[in-house]
């Protein structure tokens, strides 16, 4: 503080011996200025919250949400069909295919797991098929940016909790995603038991066991009730069942359909046949680095620039709280 007082005294034209001045009012004001200037640094060294610390994380309440499909979007594979190599034959047994035609994917996969169990396939054999799946091109770059404190990430998938959880943990991604919405699953011995996420009849665009649009909307609403509001929402998907959550997004959001897959084609088909366009902007991608460069980095820059402006405003208010220094000189 004494060093700061010397600097302030020189700036005020008093000279180095600030404590020698006869004007006690000036002494008091200089002392207040010095203590105020040093308080932020002292708090920072002691680990207390300060303006400097707050400026790194303050985004004015603005956040980004990224919602991911899992199969063929985050990973360059289908986790359910990746276990097909465990079958003695290249194709599924005919009686299993009939179940898919009649009851849908979830019932079909439960029958697949039961068949593998009957064939004495072990739990570890199944998990070994899941762990080495590759991320889609550019996904590592995208995941790197997801560490920003104002970006929330969730997965909405028609796979199952065991496969997704095993992959995330095995590849060091267990802490990246806030929530994973998918079909519940557990191992009972070596048998993988699968349940539907829900039984819904209100959405024809999605499977009966999960409406992805409903899941996304519910998550955003829950966050709003907790005081979390998203400036932008991005949805990454590849399949036709990813159209529903894409349709739920608004003008300031973005949809990222994987190039050459069903979602990209379905968006164009709906636009051409029914004139139905998504409110969100659409950005097809073959490499997730395109998402980073074209959309995500501008979103991040926007939020961080606004945060910098807010921090400057806060510091301006802080400086306005400084006691006014008025120098009084006597005529000689």
Q: Which residues are catalytic?
A: 69, 71
Q: In the sheet where 62-68 sits, what is the strand order?
A: 179-183, 151-160, 62-68, 229-237, 254-257, 281-282
Cβ neighbours around 259 below 10 Å, total: 13
Q: Which two tokens stand for residue 5?
A: 């007082």
DSSP one-letter code for 201: -
Q: Are 154 and 65 in contact (CB under 8 A)?
A: yes
Query: Measured between alpha carbons, how far is 311 from 298 in angstroms, rounded to an integer?
Result: 20
3-state secondary structure at position 135: strand
Q: Which two tokens stand for residue 57?
A: 């994380």
> Phi first, then psi: what are they for 162, rounded to 5°?
-65, -50
| Angle between helix 161-170 and 123-130 (nearest 10) | 60
Q: Are 245 and 237 in contact (CB under 8 A)?
A: yes
Burial tier of 260 (Cβ tally within 10 Å: 0-12, 13-18, 19+): exposed
Burial tier of 53 (Cβ tally within 10 Å: 0-12, 13-18, 19+): middle
Q: Quickly tell me which residue has 């290249």 as its tokens.
A: 90
Question: CA-CA distances (angstroms) from residue 42 to 1, 8, 82, 310?
Answer: 10, 18, 57, 23
Give the max Cα distance, the chain.
111
3-state secondary structure at position 127: helix
In this structure, the chain runs to a length of 332
């Amino acid at each position: 503080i004494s060093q700061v007082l010397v600097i302030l005294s020189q700036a005020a034209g008093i000279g180095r011996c600030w404590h020698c001045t006869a004007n006690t009012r000036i002494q008091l004001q200089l002392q207040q200025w010095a203590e105020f200037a040093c308080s932020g640094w002292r708090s920072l060294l002691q680990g207390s919250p300060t303006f400097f610390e707050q400026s790194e994380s303050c985004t004015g309440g603005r956040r980004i949400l990224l919602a991911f499909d899992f199969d063929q979007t985050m990973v360059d594979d289908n986790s359910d069909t990746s276990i097909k190599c465990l079958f003695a034959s290249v194709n599924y047994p005919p009686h299993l295919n009939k179940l898919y035609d009649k009851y849908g994917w979830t019932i079909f996969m439960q029958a697949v797991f039961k068949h593998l169990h009957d064939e004495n396939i072990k739990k570890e054999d199944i998990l070994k098929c899941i762990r080495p799946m590759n991320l889609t091109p550019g996904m590592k770059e995208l995941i790197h940016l997801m560490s920003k404190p104002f970006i929330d990430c969730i997965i909405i998938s028609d796979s199952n909790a065991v496969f997704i959880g095993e992959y995330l943990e095995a590849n060091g991604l267990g802490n990246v995603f806030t929530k994973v919405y998918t079909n519940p699953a557990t191992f009972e011995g070596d048998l993988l038991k699968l349940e539907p996420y829900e039984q819904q009849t209100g959405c024809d665009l999605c499977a009966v066991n999960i409406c992805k649009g409903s899941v996304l909307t519910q998550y955003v609403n829950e966050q709003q009730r907790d005081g979390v509001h998203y400036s932008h929402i991005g949805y990454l998907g590849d399949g036709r069942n990813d159209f529903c959550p894409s349709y739920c997004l608004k003008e300031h959001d973005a949809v990222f359909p994987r190039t050459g897959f069903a979602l990209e084609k379905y968006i164009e088909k709906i636009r051409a046949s029914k004139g139905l366009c998504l409110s969100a902007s659409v950005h097809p991608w073959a490499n997730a680095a395109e998402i980073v460069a074209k959309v995500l980095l501008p979103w991040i820059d926007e939020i961080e620039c606004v945060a910098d402006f807010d921090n400057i405003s806060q510091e301006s208010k802080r400086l306005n709280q400084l006691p006014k220094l008025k120098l009084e000189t006597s005529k000689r």
